[in-house]
Amino acid sequence: MRTVGLMINLEKEGILELVGQIVSLLEEEGCTVLIEEETAGAVGIAELGVSQGQLISLVDWVIVLGGDGTLLSCARQFAAAGTPIIGINVGRLGFLTEIDVPGMKLDLKRILNGHYYIEERMMLEAEVFRQGKVVEQSVGLNDAVITKGAFARLILLEVFINEQYLNTYPADGLIVASPTGSTAYSLSAGGPLVAPNLELILLTPICPHTLWSRPIVVASDSNVKVNILSRLGGVMLTMDGQHGFWLEQGDQVVIKRALHNTRLLRLKGRSFFEVLREKLREDDRSNG
């Protein structure tokens, strides 16, 4: 655990000072710090810069400086390598980030002294088939979302689970979420909160035009197939709200468990439910 990668959201306020503090602490503890070369130049420590490929292959673990969005992006990049990641929250809510800035130095020293555990989080993979051929493939930690564009009417989505017909949804869209993603868009759309150690797939319709459509939970080894029936354009697949792909009538989106997991570094002594209470209270206060 002595070669550490830094992934940095340069848009966050005060990020340069924060990076300097972290690099100093890690080097004082005998660690080698590596940063993607363009980012390293932007924060004024170009000597720590390496290529993205080298960063992925060389580091023992990764510290993510940003919010949940930065961590989600990092998760997609490092999942195949199996590299553990931990987030320092420089964002607003931070369900996924483990460390807050005020206690940052103490928490990082705890990790370097071995007071951590690794939590495996299942990811999702989505493939788009068009006329029988795969035209898009991507992975995400939180969710795969099929949604209408800004000016589209309700879209029509035909859903199958393991080749068994489930329903045809006239709706604004459909969220297919992992347990980790249950605290994200799915929660806002009325889906349940799911403990992250469970392995399942959650389907949450977005504003369905029916009185009886409800979120549905299926096994983690299920194949979720969604046929795009809408004739109108403006339908998009997004992974973790970051990577998007435009869909057409007749496309089939197949969503299943990804081959790799995200490995999150966690501090001993904190439970999911403790974090949940803290973050939901923070969200209530910020919206109040």
Phi, then psi, of 212 in degrees rounded to 5: -115, -5
Say if CB 78 and CB 57 are below 8 A apart.
Answer: no
Q: Both tokens of residue 282? A: 């923070």
d(CA 285, CA 84): 32
Let me know: does 107 contact 99? Beta carbons within 8 Å: yes
> Which structure tokens are listed for 201?
């797939």
The vertex-186 CA angle with 189 and 143, nearest 5°, equals 145
Q: Which two tokens stand for residue 31?
A: 């660690």
8 Å CB contact between 148 and 234: yes
Going through the chain in order, the beta strands assigned E by DSSP cover 3-8, 32-36, 49-50, 61-66, 85-89, 99-100, 116-130, 133-140, 143-148, 155-161, 164-171, 173-177, 200-206, 216-219, 224-228, 235-239, 243-247, 252-267
Q: Can you give the length of the chain in residues?
A: 288
Which residues have a catalytic role annotated?
68
Give the end-to-end CA distance of the chain in Å, rounded to a whole number: 41
Nearest to 219 by CA among 234, 203, 242, 239: 203
The DSSP letter of residue 270 is -
Q: What is the three-class DSSP state of 250?
A: coil
